Amino acid sequence: MRTLRLFIGLFAVVGLIFVSAGIGIFLHTRRFVATAVSVSGWLRRISGG
Amino acid sequence: MVTENIWRLSPSSRRDTSSSVFYPRIRFRTDDGQDITTITNTGSYPPAHHINEAVTILYDPQQPYHAVIRSFAELWMLPLVFSGLGLLFLSIGAGPIVWKGLRIRKIAWLRENGRRITADITHVGLNTSLTVNGEHPYRILCQWLDPAVNQMHTFKSESIWFNPGQYIHGKTVEVLVDPTNPHRYLVVTDFLPRVV
């Protein structure tokens, strides 16, 4: 039972970290989109490097 | 204005496998006339954009090399993946914690507001439908006839992780029942020793 509780707790902690990261990236991206300059263009060619 | 975009094979991938990923290299001219060439952070296979496809670039005026193609995947895929995985892990981890919290609340509510009835013990045995670390818990089954409506109610105790047989001296056990919902109940096993 103790091992099971440990695993459940671990899942919750990892989940919280991932959700926090997701929210952090979301807020960062939203801030970036709000301040970024938008320019238009088109793709010209594809190369291997 | 974007002057050129080059698809670049990911350095960590191989061309001959399906895991190859292409990252767009974009070149554009900022508003102050500076030519910028940079590679975006999001790659895909097959490439997400066609040659000569019109694209919109977003760049940070303070750091022009921080530029992305304006698309849903490029902007929002990463937070979506992190949040989705996080919610998945969190639901697995927090589910039992929430369930336990609700159970504690239910027990507290029943102890305060539940109707106390005396039910006849019909069986004390292993609950083989539940296995934890290869062991089944015991449970007490009991029944109570509601004389007002001539209805038989059956109740099951919470899981008991030792054999309670020798500690049950009578033939009845008390049950706390929600007066408005007979399916919400608690078989009172306070007379049993606590498990350390």
Q: What is the pLDDT of residue B59?
A: 87
Q: How close, in Å, is residue A2 to chain B by CA atoms? A: 11
Each domain of chain B, given as residue ranges in start order, spans: 2-70, 80-113, 114-187
Helix-strand-coil split of chain B, %, nearest 5: 25, 40, 40
Give tens-digit pLDDT for B114-153. Answer: 999 999 999 999 999 999 888 999 999 999 999 888 999 9
Q: What is the pLDDT of residue B97?
A: 86
ipTM greater than 0.85: no
Average pLDDT of the residues in B189-193 = 91
Q: What is the pLDDT of residues A4-41, one digit of tens each?
A: 788 888 899 999 999 999 999 999 999 988 888 888 75
Residue B174 and residue B147: Cα distance in Å, rounded? 17
The CA angle B123-B128-B132, to the nearest 5 degrees, is: 125
Q: Is the pTM of this model over 0.80?
A: no
The per-residue pLDDT for range B145-176, each reduced to its tens digit, is: 998 889 999 999 999 999 998 899 889 999 99
Give residue-wise pLDDT tens across range B2-36. 444 555 555 554 555 555 777 777 878 788 888 88
- How far apart are the CA of B143 and the nearest CA of chain A, in angstroms? 30
Nearest-CA neighbor of B47 among B96, B95, B5?
Answer: B5
| Cross-chain residue pair B7–A16, CB shorter than 8 Å | no
Is residue A18 within 8 Å of B83, Cβ to Cβ? yes
Nearest to B7 by CA among B59, B67, B47, B55: B47
Which chain A residues have a beta carbon less than 8 Å from that of B24?
A: 43
